[in-house]
């Protein structure tokens, strides 16, 4: 009987040892931190106004894993990358400030035992919107058709010649149209109306040129008062083909030209 008891105790101890070994193995397996085996990739066109999307790549390590993202702006060679503030989603809307640079994304995988980080390859050099043309001064000109909400047209510059009206002879108005990103906009449609109505003859709508400029000859009527310190207000509207004159990406602005006695 004593031998049987000793044998049973030995078997029990052996079983406990085996269970402990299995538990230890399971615990060791649970301590596998994430490791990247295939780098993250970026899909989409690296162009101002377009959207890039990250795929996190392939990772080993225990599940469940969570992933976080940090988009970065790199120099033209894909080096000296710095975080883009607030850009921590799976997608990234390419910005005007990215033009000429490259984008990459840093992916961090985390599980209960730790975390690891991997970088994607940088994108191609970010380009301006579709149809962009480089003009004088290193600025870009884009067609009005490429301006889409949430971006809008902007009447960003106004110039009159002469600057002060001392007669009712025709004068020249030059109006610069850009968009909210700062690009010159060509083929935007500009109309100028005198306020009150009838102070200038109604001109035809004019399209902007490659530099975003619309030039109009404005003819005052006899209603224009030529007084010292006076002025005439003008309503300027810019729109693109197919848009409602009161909606879409259209823009409106009130300006004035000064008057003086003849």
pLDDT in tens, 4-52: 454 445 545 554 454 445 445 444 455 799 999 999 999 999 999 899 9
Residues recorded for the chain: 262
CATH of residue 61: 2.60.40.2700
What is the predicted pLDDT for the residue at 137?
86
Give the whole-number percent of the chain exceeding pLDDT 70: 89
User: Of 119, 154, 175, which one is at a domain's C-terminal end?
Assistant: 119
- Same domain for 219 and 146, yes or no, is yes
Q: Is residue 216 part of a domain?
A: yes
Contacts of 8 (CB under 8 A, 6+ apart): none
Which contiguous run of DSSP H or E holds residue 21?
helix 2-30
Q: Is residue 62 part of a domain?
A: yes
- Same domain for 61 and 150, yes or no, is no
Give the range of the structural domain holding residue 68, as residue numbers without chain letter: 35-119
- Same domain for 198 and 252, yes or no, is yes
Average confidence (pLDDT) over 84-106: 96
Angle (CA) 176-182-185 rounded to 5° is 50
Rounded Cα–Cα distance for residues 92 and 52 (Å) = 5
CATH of residue 176: 2.60.40.10
Task: Specify the number of domains making up the chain.
Answer: 2
SS3 assignment for 109-159: EEECCEEEEEECCCCCCCECCCCCEECHHHCEEEEHHHCCCCCCEEEEEEE
User: Of 73, 92, 119, which one is at a domain's C-terminal end?
Assistant: 119
Backbone φ and ψ for 26, nearest 5 degrees, come out as: -60, -40
- Tell if the pTM clears 0.85, that is, is over it: no
138/127: higher pLDDT:
127
Provide the 8-state DSSP code for 211: T
Would you call 7 exposed, middle or buried from its count of C-beta atoms within 10 A (0-12, 13-18, 19+)? exposed
Q: Is residue 47 part of a domain?
A: yes
């Amino acid at each position: 009987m004593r031998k049987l008891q000793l044998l049973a105790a030995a078997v029990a101890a052996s079983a406990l040892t085996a269970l402990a070994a299995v538990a230890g193995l399971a615990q060791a397996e649970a301590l596998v931190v994430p490791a990247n085996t295939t780098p993250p990739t970026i899909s989409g066109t690296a162009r101002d106004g377009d959207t890039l999307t990250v795929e996190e790549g392939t990772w080993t390590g225990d599940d469940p894993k969570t992933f976080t993202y940090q988009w970065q702006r790199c120099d033209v060679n894909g080096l000296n990358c710095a975080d883009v503030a607030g850009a921590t989603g799976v997608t990234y809307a390419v910005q005007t400030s990215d033009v000429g640079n490259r984008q990459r994304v840093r992916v961090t995988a985390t599980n209960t035992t730790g975390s690891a980080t991997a970088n994607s390859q940088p994108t191609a050099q970010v380009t301006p919107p579709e149809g962009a043309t480089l003009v004088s001064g290193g600025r870009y000109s884009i067609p009005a058709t490429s301006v889409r909400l949430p971006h809008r047209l902007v009447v960003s510059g106004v110039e009159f010649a002469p600057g002060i009206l001392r007669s009712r002879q025709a004068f020249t108005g030059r109006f610069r149209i850009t968009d909210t990103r700062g690009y010159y906009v060509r083929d935007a449609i500009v109309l100028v109306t005198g306020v009150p109505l009838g102070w200038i003859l109604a001109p035809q709508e004019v399209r902007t040129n490659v530099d975003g400029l619309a030039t109009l000859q404005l003819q005052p009527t006899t209603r224009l008062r030529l007084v010292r310190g006076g002025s005439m207000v003008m309503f300027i509207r810019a729109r693109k083909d197919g848009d409602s004159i009161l909606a879409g990406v259209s823009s409106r602005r009130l300006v004035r030209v000064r008057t003086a006695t003849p």
